[in-house]
Amino acid sequence: MTTSPDPYERSLPEGLAPETLAVRSSLARTQYQEHGDPIFPTSSFVFENAAQAAARFAGDEDGFIYSRTDNPTVAAFARRLAALEGGEACVATASGMSAISAVVMSLTRAGDHVVAARELFGATVQMFGILSRFGVSTSFVPLADTEAWARAIGPQTKLLYLESPSNPLNEVADIRAIAAIARAHGIPLVVDNCFCSPVLQKPLELGAEIVVHSATKYIDGQGRVLGGAVIGRRSYIVDTLGPFLRTMGPTLSPFNAWVLLKGCETLSVRMHQQSANALEVARWLEAQPGVERVHYPGLESHPQHRLAMSQQKTGGAIVSFDVAGADDAARRRNAWAVIDNSRILSITANVGDVRTTITHPASTTHGRIGAEARREAGIGEGLIRLAVGLEAPADIIADLERGLSRVGR
């Protein structure tokens, strides 16, 4: 948590670029002058004497007390991510879901209302369902329909919530316009920036108040640990969210924070290379007769290509496409054939890894929502989602071609 004292931070010149901060922002070195970031696996911290303990607890003296509240390695990760997102402060959490639930719960009480995008990560939708038991209701609106966001706001609405681009169809929200609507109502827009990471998209610069992350995805980038984070104004993070998290306790472990610190160092090169690979795969897919449609915001054929490119640096690394088929059964059979004929792609629902993952949303991540809801959301039986990694694009393409060549028109 960034409530930790500034003397613990290594001093750096002003005005450094995000790529520099991603590798250079850190805690002050210990007396051992280590070059790498240290891990502090300790539950508590020792005081010089009783008076110092009293001063720390009273908040009269800066310093660490207990690792549920704050830990140097966790603080170093939070500072690095705040620097990358261009936010005043950041607090790290045990997972993306704990970051998301803490933000929504810290901003609402019974009787309040939230407006959220219809196209959200599944567990986030379920979380809004749980919160309805505590008297917090949610209206879901189509992500790309900016007018619908304005219409759904009522007197009890306390926040707007979205992800962009959406999963798995890569629909894009007009973040600037929706942030302006939120501001006009004096409420925050919260953006889950997991799919772009701060390397490709900076929601705070686009007008959002709060950014949440599942650091489990691109920030780790290598499928090792779970983590989450919230970035925003110091007044919100330190005065409102910090005390909430300290009490509820979904604390990031120092070890996971250290892994995520390392992830930040390579985030920029990974995001740019994985995006370039994704664009190459998307362009190839678009030319295949067995593919009906490719959903990738980096392609000129994407209906929101210009909007996407006005707020993201690239189209990102997620590519979805519809495999052709005479009917739903054939589309599913053909999609499964593409998946089962790949040799190197990992059949797993996770995204953000340096290894390309492939999944069939209709029978996995979106299997439980039912055929009707899937039709409404545009998730067909032929849809495949790729989270493109760092393999040579030619190898990814060769893997996809093996299955696609069997798909007759």
The contact set with ligand PLP (CB under 6 A) reads 95-97, 121, 123-124, 163, 167, 192, 194-195, 214, 216-217, 226, 228
* Cβ 102 to ligand PLP shortest distance, Å: 12
Q: How far is CA 346 from the centre of its chain?
A: 21
Place of tokens 């919100």: 236
Of 199, 213, 151, 206, the residue nearest 174 (C-alpha):
206
**Which three-class secondary structure state does DSSP give residue 115?**
strand
Ordered strands of the 210-214 beta sheet: 89-93, 228-232, 210-214, 189-192, 157-163, 113-117, 137-141
What are the tokens at 182?
């939120």
Of 401, 218, 217, the residue nearest 321 (C-alpha):
401
Phi-psi region of 295 (alpha: psi -120 to 50; beta: other; left: phi over 0): beta
Q: For residues 116 and 189, what is the distance between their CA atoms, to the nearest angstrom? A: 10
* Cβ 405 to ligand PLP shortest distance, Å: 31
Could you tell me if 347 and 385 are in contact, meaning their C-beta atoms sit under 8 angstroms apart? Answer: no
Toward ligand PLP, which CB reaches closer, 124 or 274? 124
* Cβ 352 to ligand PLP shortest distance, Å: 8
* Cβ 193 to ligand PLP shortest distance, Å: 9
Q: Is the peptide bond before 41 cis (omega within 30 degrees of 0)?
A: no
Toward ligand PLP, which CB reaches closer, 192 or 399? 192
* Cβ 14 to ligand PLP shortest distance, Å: 33
Toward ligand PLP, which CB reaches closer, 85 or 399? 85
* Cβ 210 to ligand PLP shortest distance, Å: 14
Toward ligand PLP, which CB reaches closer, 226 or 345? 226
Toward ligand PLP, which CB reaches closer, 211 or 337? 211
Q: Which residues contact 292 (CB under 8 A, 6 or more apart)?
A: 321, 322, 323, 324, 382
Toward ligand PLP, which CB reaches closer, 163 or 399? 163
Toward ligand PLP, which CB reaches closer, 124 or 275? 124
* Cβ 113 to ligand PLP shortest distance, Å: 21
Closest chain position to ligand PLP (CB): 96
